[in-house]
């Protein structure tokens, strides 16, 4: 357990991450709405503008967003733009909390770009696919030529991005946009920060290696999935041992080849871990929660024809993260499909680190990952 993580975990001991995991451990998911209320009550920031950035709240096709606009520069006609989708397990946080407000403000300043931060609805108010629909509606609204003109955005220089569960939504929205024949404007780039991309295999090397890692242990990630799908916690143990995708579960067979980590991961990630594949399992899990195989929820399972349509991609992964292999496998599948991909891996970093750049949780890991992410956007957008 790296010393930097040990220090980070001590500093995070009173954070909303810790409270959230306690809630999940006690199986009190129906209190998530109270937890998020407390988080947002004490941490939500009003849209206070400054000389450097104009911050406004708006509604895009029924979805709340926060827009960060740098001042116009002399002789400048149009700006770049990033649609950003925050993380929090589809259940927590907000575009208006200090952590995400700070990240988006810095992005807008550093890139001289208009940043649209999506305030999608959360579990338990709504479950899948409503979070996906909110993110998609807000993004499609923004991509309309008249809306882009209102914000002085160059339609050829737009990225979609997100972290963790927000990375999941960003990837799923990007896939959906790529298949929409009626769209005239699509994202130039996608940038995914330690994204959660699959619920097929909870025994990838990173899930095995980091199953008890603070910030995001395996059981918490599985509970997030169960909450997102409005499922039953009694299924958690079966999911942990991959009973839902056993060899006798016919619905899962066609997807198995798309998530074969023994061929998709580098040896430095695979180490000596072995696949966990059950011979007999529980097909009723997929019947009860078909979303486990729905590409709108699990974009890593998308077919190659969809992956070929994806834009230039950046994926950031951290070694001390159960989701490391989700990002790495998606990068490899996109690469195989002919997409230009940058996989930016950090050996000493942990899940969620990029938003922790302000006191009292100002970690060097957060600044390091954030700077690398913004540098890639600046060079490619």
| CA–CA dist 138, 129 (Å, integer) | 14
The closest of 19, 191, 12, 9 to 89, measured between CA atoms, is: 19
Q: Is there a catalytic annotation at residue 321? A: yes
3-state helix/strand/coil string of 167-210: HHHHHHHHHHHHHCCCCCCCCCEEEEECCCCCCCCCCCHHHHHC
| CA–CA dist 102, 55 (Å, integer) | 11
* Alpha-carbon distances, residue 6 vs 1, 52, 348, 364 (angstroms): 7, 36, 12, 14
Q: Is there a catalytic annotation at residue 141? A: no
- Cα-based angle 292, 296, 301 (whole degrees, multiple of 5): 65
| CA–CA dist 67, 115 (Å, integer) | 6
Q: Do the beta carbons of residue 53 and residue 68 sit within 8 Å?
A: yes
Q: Do the beta carbons of residue 358 and residue 201 sit within 8 Å?
A: no
Longest Cα separation, the chain: 66
3-state helix/strand/coil string of 72-116: CCCCCCCEEEEEEECCCCCCCCCCCEHHHHHHHHHHHHHHCEEEE
Catalytic residue among 164, 227, 325, 344: 164
Backbone phi and psi for residue 158, each to the nearest 5 degrees, phi listed first: -120, 135
146: left (phi over 0), alpha (psi -120 to 50) or beta: alpha
| CA–CA dist 287, 234 (Å, integer) | 15
Q: Is there a catalytic annotation at residue 164? A: yes
Catalytic residue among 163, 321, 325, 344: 321
End-to-end CA distance of the chain: give it in Å, rounded.
37
Q: Which residues are known to be catalytic?
A: 164, 321, 351
């Amino acid at each position: 357990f790296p010393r930097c993580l040990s220090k980070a975990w001590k500093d995070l001991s009173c954070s909303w991450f810790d409270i959230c995991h306690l809630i999940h451990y006690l199986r009190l998911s129906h209190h998530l709405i109270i937890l998020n209320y407390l988080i947002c009550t004490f941490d939500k920031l009003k849209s206070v503008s400054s000389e450097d950035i104009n911050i406004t709240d708006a509604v895009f096709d029924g979805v709340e967003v926060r827009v960060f606009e740098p001042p116009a520069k002399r002789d400048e006609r149009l700006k770049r733009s990033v649609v950003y989708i925050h993380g929090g397990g589809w259940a927590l946080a907000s575009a208006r909390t200090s952590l995400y407000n700070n990240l988006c403000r810095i992005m807008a300043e550093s890139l001289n770009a208009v940043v649209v931060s999506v305030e999608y609805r959360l579990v338990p108010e709504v479950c899948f696919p409503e979070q996906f629909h909110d993110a998609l509606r807000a993004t499609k609204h923004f991509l309309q030529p008249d809306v882009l003109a209102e914000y002085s955005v160059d339609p050829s220089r737009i990225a979609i991005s997100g972290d963790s569960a927000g990375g999941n939504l960003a990837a799923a929205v990007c896939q959906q946009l790529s298949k929409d024949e009626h769209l005239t404007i699509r994202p130039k780039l996608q940038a995914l920060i330690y994204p959660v991309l699959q619920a097929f295999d909870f025994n990838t090397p990173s899930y095995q290696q980091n199953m008890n890692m603070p910030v995001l242990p395996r059981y918490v990630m599985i509970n997030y999935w169960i909450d997102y799908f409005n499922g039953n916690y009694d299924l958690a143990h079966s999911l942990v041992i991959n009973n839902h995708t056993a060899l006798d579960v016919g619905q899962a067979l066609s997807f198995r080849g798309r998530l074969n980590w023994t061929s998709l991961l580098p040896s430095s990630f695979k180490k000596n871990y072995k696949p966990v594949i059950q011979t007999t399992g529980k097909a009723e899990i997929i019947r009860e929660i078909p979303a486990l195989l729905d590409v709108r929820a699990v974009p890593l399972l998308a077919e190659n024809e969809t992956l070929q349509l994806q834009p230039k991609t950046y994926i950031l992964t951290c070694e001390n993260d159960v989701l490391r292999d989700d990002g790495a496998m998606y990068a490899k599948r996109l690469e195989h499909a002919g997409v230009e991909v940058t996989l930016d891996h950090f050996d000493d970093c942990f899940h969620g680190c990029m938003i922790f750049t302000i006191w009292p949780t100002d970690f060097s890991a957060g600044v390091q990952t954030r700077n690398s992410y913004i540098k890639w956007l600046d060079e490619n957008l």
